[in-house]
Amino acid sequence: MRRPAFPPRQASVCLFCDALAVRRPNRAKPLASFSTRSLPKSRPTLSRVSQGASGRAVTSAARPRWLSSQTSKRTAGEPAEGLRGDEEIANRRPVTPKAAGKELSSLTNMVAYIDNNKAKVLEHRGVPSEADTSAALRACQVVADYIMDESVQPQITHMINEADSTASNLLSLDSSRRKAAKASPADLDSSARNALISTQLKQLIDRISEAAYVTLAHPTVFITPRLLQEYVKVQATLGRPETLPRVLQLYASKPMPREASGSIEYTKQNSDKASNAVESSVAETALDTAIEAKNLDAAVGIIESTYTTKAFIRSKLLRNATLPVATFAATPLAAYAVARNFSVFQDAMDAAHATNVAFVAILAYVGFTASIGIVAATTANDQMKRVTWAPGIALRSRWIREEERAALDKIACAWGFAEKWRQGEEEGPEWDALREYIGQKGMVLDRTELMDGMQ
């Protein structure tokens, strides 16, 4: 007797099998040799298939060359979707839509992919959620990682040449524009063609950078630490630090949007709050981006928007000075308790007098030792290379503003000569402006007595 056929399963038995089933054959297209070597390793999260994508989601672990178009973090109250039995495995591994390859198959698709995600934020009638804004920034990050990867530069060149060939063919159909068609990029020599490709690639990079900035600077978007970190990462990948000082300033001063009775109200933020301080890791990444791009104005602007703000100073005091201050406040109580207990082990004087003597002695010892440690910590200059403190700067100011001095020191080392025997011979308008700026901050650039051979 013939057994009845089982009904088809709604979901794939194995994610790897499903990935192999939908895998397209290798072609001579740019995406065929795509590599994700430059992609940063992030915490695996679940993602949803976008509305424009068709079919089920497959894992990026099965085909590492596929990029995830929308990787969103699942919240605790969000219901699980698809493959509920493999939820634990999916939480460890990001999933990628089938249509992810189409989004990077041509320059037009890349631009459309970014514009679609950006439109979800800009055209939102209310306050966009953090997930929507993060999706728009991740779209910029996906395209930025792809086009900035050196291993796929030939594919990018092929895309640009293919787009130029299509445009020239369309122009050749018009008899009145045959002369323009004859001078199409396909007929140029190699040097002119390379220059044209470089120009178009630069325009694409500028468009991605502008899309990320417009998304985050939109009035209804509230900048969270996570969004700020993603934005800085996008601009660092593209090498575009021009907008970083402005965005870092908006992070602390941008009004907070709130929906109330069908309208959007804006609440002014206190930019001096410790919670509005930019994290040190984000500020360092932004500064490194400006240094690599050799943009001195952006580098100085990043320092002014991060390390010199009251919010950063207050945050540093709360993080690093709370425990020492609490210990200092509790020291007299602990010293009195110890002195009172030790007073019973002698009979040369009464207990009260012995307690007072021991209490004063303990406080004197602790205070003297602590003062030496504070002076040693605040006057240490082993970490200083070219920028040092000017005489007369208070020790507390040196400790509070150490990150600012270290950032200016990094800029001076990047703009000056790398050879130590040539340091101090730099000249030019940028170097003179940097020296004057450092002097206005109570610091000295290339202090003579601290240079090699001048001790």
Among the candidates 104, 130, 160, a domain finishes at 104
Is residue 240, in this structure, part of any structural domain at all? yes
Same structural domain, 87 and 230: no
Task: Establish if 283 belongs to a structural domain.
Answer: no
Residues 163, 210 share a domain: yes
Q: Mention every residue, 6+ apart, whose C-beta is less than 8 A from residue 379.
A: 395, 398
Q: Does 370 map to a domain?
A: no
Q: Are 247 and 216 in contact (CB under 8 A)?
A: yes
The per-residue pLDDT string of the chain (455 residues; one tens digit each, 9 = 90 and over) reads 454 444 444 444 444 344 444 444 444 344 333 343 343 444 434 333 334 333 333 333 333 333 333 333 333 344 334 333 444 433 433 333 344 456 677 788 888 899 999 999 999 888 999 999 999 999 999 999 988 888 877 777 777 766 555 444 444 445 444 444 444 444 556 666 567 667 888 888 999 999 999 999 999 999 999 999 999 999 999 999 999 999 999 999 999 999 888 788 999 999 999 999 999 999 999 999 999 999 999 999 999 999 999 999 999 999 998 898 899 899 999 999 999 998 888 888 888 999 999 999 999 999 999 999 888 888 888 889 999 999 999 999 999 999 999 999 999 999 998 888 888 888 899 999 999 999 999 999 988 777 776 66
Instruction: Give residue 154's pLDDT.
Output: 76
- 115: which 2 tokens? 């514009």
3-state secondary structure 320-372: HHHHHHHHHHHHHHHHHHHHHHHHHHCCCCCHHHHHHHHHHHHHHHHHHHHHH
Q: Is residue 244 within 8 Å of residue 290, measured between CB atoms?
A: yes
Same domain, 134 and 210: yes
Are 90 and 196 members of one domain? no
Count the domains in the chain: 3
CA dist 325 and 319 (Å) reads 11
Q: Last residue of a domain, which of 243, 270, 297?
A: 270
Q: Are residues 263 and 171 in the same domain?
A: yes
Say whether both 252 and 171 belong to one domain. yes
Whether 90 and 116 share a structural domain: no
- Whether 289 maps to a domain, the answer reads no
For residue 140, give its domain range: 106-270
Please indicate, yes or no, whether residues 77 and 201 belong to a single structural domain of this protein: no
Same domain, 116 and 240: yes
Tell me the CA distances in angstroms from 417 to 42, 289, 433, 447, one per residue in order.
Answer: 36, 19, 16, 15
Do 137 and 237 touch, CB atoms closer than 8 A? Answer: no
CA atoms within 13 A on the CB side of 104: 30
- 339, part of any domain: no
Give the count of beta carbons closer than 10 Å to the beta carbon of residue 192: 11
Assess whether 264 and 145 both reside in one domain. yes
The residues, ordered by sequence, that sit 6+ positions from 73 with a Cβ below 8 Å of its Cβ are: 45, 46, 131, 134
- Same domain flag for 114 and 248: yes
CA distances from residue 153 to 145, 157, 189, 197, 438 in whole angstroms, order as listed = 12, 6, 19, 11, 40
Q: Encoding tokens for residue 212? A: 């990320």
The alpha carbons of the chain give a radius of gyration, in whole angstroms, of: 30
Q: Note whether 181 and 265 are same-domain residues.
A: yes
Q: Tokens 């010199």 map to which residue?
A: 308
Residue ending a domain, choose from 75, 104, 133: 104
In a domain, 156, yes or no: yes
Q: Is residue 187 part of a domain?
A: yes
**DSSP structure class, residue 125:** S
Q: Is residue 335 part of a domain?
A: no
